[in-house]
Amino acid sequence: MTLTLQRRSSIEARATSRVAVIDIGSNSIRLVVYDELNRSPVPLFNEKIMCGLGRTVEKTGRLNPEGVTLALDNIDRFARLIDGMDVGQVEVLATAAVRDASDGAAFVSAIEQRTGLTVRTIAGEEEARLSALGVLSGTPGADGLMGDLGGGSLELVGLDRGVIGPQVTMPLGPLRLLESCGGKVSNANRIIDQHLEALPWLSGHRDRPFYPVGGSWRALAKLHMEQVGHPLHIIHHYCVPGAQMRDFAGVIARQSRSSLDKMSSVSRRRSDTLPFAALAMERLLRHVQPSMVVFSAHGLREGLLFDMLSPEIQRQDPLVSSCASLAKRIGRFAQGEIMAGWTTSLFAGEDESAGRLRRAACLLSDLGWSEHPDYRAEHAYLRVLRMPFAGIDHDERAFLALTLYIRYGGRMEDPHVAMARSLLDSANAAKANILGLTLRLGQTLTGGVVTMLQRTALSLDEETLYLILPEDVRALIGDTVQRRLDSVAKSLNRRGAIVSRS
């Protein structure tokens, strides 16, 4: 039996929950291994190789020979890594460069013979649909226009409150534009505009959000963050007013390669194509005139996994699902949902969005138990602030991080949390303080033991915050509990009182 057949049979024989996706793009090839197929899969391994397969497709109709060699070697390496990672399911997708090149089929055959993996070359419409599903997986209910810019193509998809609408794929990837325009950005305006003007349905997305996907556009987001001094360098749900992003993209499109090379956040391998990616962004935003540009870290790969889920799982909240999974992995007593119910009485009148954030904070409330006591607050704060959660914007992320910091004894005025405070208005900062102190009280009162917490309750009137508990658990009360009750009461401009019931 050959090594290839051994590898294929060993993968097929496994029953593990790990899933791997190899995404063969026009510019890069990426392997991501996820822990399991669920609403919020966690990446266990993520590696990208810049091969530039599509660099010669526009002129010669064939894949870049150097890129083919580099791609085959690295896909073989990826297959060997997958084989050692106990992966149960492997998906290999090839996109624009492979489907458009005359030797694309031969390249796919070489991969399959060399690795034993099955490669699926997807049509442009399918690539657009999966990328749109990726955006919806990370931003449920997205309403506007999705754009996925790869090295060889640009996919646009209309989104109507979470429903996929019209879609198109166009040969406007930066590698294609670089070749067809002789390396001159000024020559690409007309090509891009001709494609966009042939799409009358784009006008229906004016003054609605635009959701960019793709590595080149993520690089633009990083550059913009640096320019404006945005405090949180996380791409997902980074929001910029449409006109501001249009003007910024126009500036980047006019930069020389030497100028881009001096920018620390720009990869040297992207510096020749980034101006074309920026131009595609600028022309599209000028044509559509969206209200906001909302960057998405989720795209084709996440859409592929999302498409494999049942409708019931697809409807789950990605943030709550992530927090519940994390709590299950690292928590001690699985008290998050009970804690959410226990805190409800203090937040009467909150809307659905605020309620889900409070629920997420409760699920994370035991996040730092295993850390050194002196650093629990700081570790919990940084971990929540930088966790790859979906379904959450930067302000909401800051709210959760600040809540967990307070829950572990941090103070609102500490310099550690100045960044999170800068993203929140005074009302939400005050709410984070109240919720954090309440979680600290609940954990102290019962040690997080669900059965004990369920027998207690909080009640609020105009003057007093009451902690209500049965007579037979009065032994839970001590100086520490009273102090923490008083802290919560003070944050609510009340006094604290402990009362018993039979």
Q: Each residue of 87-107: pLDDT tens digit?
A: 999 999 999 999 999 999 999
Residue 360's contacts (CB-CB under 8 Å, 6 or more residues apart) are 319, 320, 323, 392, 400
Domain end marker among 75, 101, 122:
122
What's the confidence (pLDDT) of residue 63?
97
Q: How far apart are CA 137 and CA 162, in angstroms?
A: 9
Q: What is the CATH number of the domain that holds 163?
A: 3.30.420.150
Do residues 296 and 211 make contact, with C-beta atoms less than 8 angstroms apart? yes
> Which string of DSSP letters, residue by residue, matches 197-231?
HT-GGGGGGTTS-EEEESHHHHHHHHHHHHHHT-S
Kindly report the average pLDDT of the chain as a whole number: 92
State which residues form the domain around 160. 125-302
Would 6 be classed as within a structural domain?
no
What's the confidence (pLDDT) of residue 264?
65
Q: Are residues 115 and 136 in the same domain?
A: no
The pair of three-digit structure tokens given for residue 232, joined into one six-digit string: 């949180």
| Lowest model confidence (mean pLDDT) among 90-94, 121-125, 185-189, 264-268 | 264-268
Give the CA diameter of the chain: 84
Q: Are residues 202 and 169 in the same domain?
A: yes
Backbone angles phi, psi at 378, to 5 degrees: -65, -45
For residue 332, pLDDT beyond 80: no
What's the confidence (pLDDT) of residue 46?
96
Do residues 431 and 460 make contact, with C-beta atoms less than 8 angstroms apart? no
Alpha carbons within 13 angstroms on the beta-carbon side of residue 425 total 1
Would 276 be classed as within a structural domain?
yes
Task: Kindly list the distances between the CA atom of residue 130 and the CA atoms of 77, 143, 153, in Å, as whole numbers in the listed order.
Answer: 26, 16, 14
Domain end marker among 302, 330, 349:
302
Would 308 be classed as within a structural domain?
no
Residue 84's contacts (CB-CB under 8 Å, 6 or more residues apart) are none
Checking DSSP bridges between strand 19-24 and strand 89-94, what pairing results, if any? Answer: parallel
Read off the pLDDT of each residue in 429-435 and give the average, rounded to a whole number.
Answer: 98
Would 310 be classed as within a structural domain?
no
Do residues 290 and 209 make contact, with C-beta atoms less than 8 angstroms apart? yes
Read off the pLDDT of each residue in 209-233 and give the average, rounded to a whole number.
Answer: 95
Q: What is the CATH number of the domain that holds 66?
A: 3.30.420.40
Q: Are residues 367 and 404 in the same domain?
A: yes
Could you tell me what percent of the chain has a pLDDT over 90?
80
Task: Kindly list the distances between the CA atom of residue 193 and the CA atoms of 171, 174, 189, in Å, as whole numbers in the listed order.
Answer: 12, 15, 6
Q: CA nearest 59: which of 201, 146, 171?
A: 171
Q: What is the CATH number of the domain that holds 339?
A: 1.10.3210.10
Q: Are residues 108 and 130 in the same domain?
A: no
Q: Are residues 100 and 160 in the same domain?
A: no
Would 426 be classed as within a structural domain?
yes
Specify the amino acid at residue 230: H
Number of domains in the chain: 3
Would 282 be classed as within a structural domain?
yes
What's the confidence (pLDDT) of residue 6?
44
**200 conformational bin, left if phi > 0, alpha if psi -120 to 50, beta if neither:** alpha
Would 11 be classed as within a structural domain?
no
For residue 8, pLDDT beyond 90: no
Q: Count the residues in the chain.
A: 502
Q: Are residues 466 and 433 in the same domain?
A: yes
Do residues 390 and 399 make contact, with C-beta atoms less than 8 angstroms apart? no
What's the confidence (pLDDT) of residue 261?
74
Specify the amino acid at residue 306: F
Q: Are residues 176 and 229 in the same domain?
A: yes
For residue 56, pLDDT beyond 50: yes
Could you tell me what percent of the chain has a pLDDT over 70?
95
The gap from C-alpha 411 to its chain's centroid, in whole angstroms, comes to: 29
Read off the pLDDT of each residue in 485-500 and give the average, rounded to a whole number.
Answer: 95
Collapse the DSSP code of 30 into the 3-class scheme (helix H, G, I; strand E, B; otherwise coil) and give the result.
strand
Backbone angles phi, psi at 284, to 5 degrees: -65, -45
The pair of three-digit structure tokens given for residue 185, joined into one six-digit string: 């950005």
Q: Are residues 175 and 223 in the same domain?
A: yes
Q: Are residues 200 and 74 in the same domain?
A: no
Q: Are residues 259 and 393 in the same domain?
A: no
Q: How far apart are CA 183 and CA 177, in angstroms?
A: 8
Long-range contacts of 467-473 (CB under 8 A, 24+ apart): 467/441, 467/496, 467/497, 467/498, 467/499, 468/499, 468/500, 468/501, 469/498, 469/499, 469/500, 469/501, 470/500, 470/501, 470/502, 471/500, 471/501, 471/502
Task: Kindly list the distances between the CA atom of residue 479 and the CA atoms of 459, 476, 482, 484, 485, in Å, as whole numbers in the listed order.
Answer: 20, 10, 5, 9, 10
For residue 7, pLDDT beyond 60: no
Q: Torsion over CA of 409, 413, 417 and 418, rounded to 10 degrees?
A: 180
Q: Are residues 100 and 129 in the same domain?
A: no
Give the model confidence (pLDDT) of 115-126 as tens digits: 999 999 999 999
Do residues 30 and 48 make contact, with C-beta atoms less than 8 angstroms apart? yes
Do residues 148 and 299 make contact, with C-beta atoms less than 8 angstroms apart? yes
For residue 263, pLDDT beyond 80: no
Would 75 be classed as within a structural domain?
yes
Other Cβ atoms less than 10 A from the Cβ of 182: the count is: 8
HEC per residue, 253-319? HCCCHHHHHCCCCCCCCCCCCHHHHHHHHHHHHHHHCCCEEECCCCCHHHHHHHHCCCHHHHCCCHH
Q: Are residues 333 and 243 in the same domain?
A: no
Helices vs. strands in the chain: H and E counts, helices first: 23, 14
Specify the amino acid at residue 280: A
Other Cβ atoms less than 10 A from the Cβ of 462: the count is: 6
Give the model confidence (pLDDT) of 369-428 as tens digits: 889 999 999 999 999 999 989 999 999 999 999 999 999 999 999 999 999 999 999 999
What secondary structure letter does DSSP report for 42?
Answer: P
> pTM of whole model > 0.75?
yes
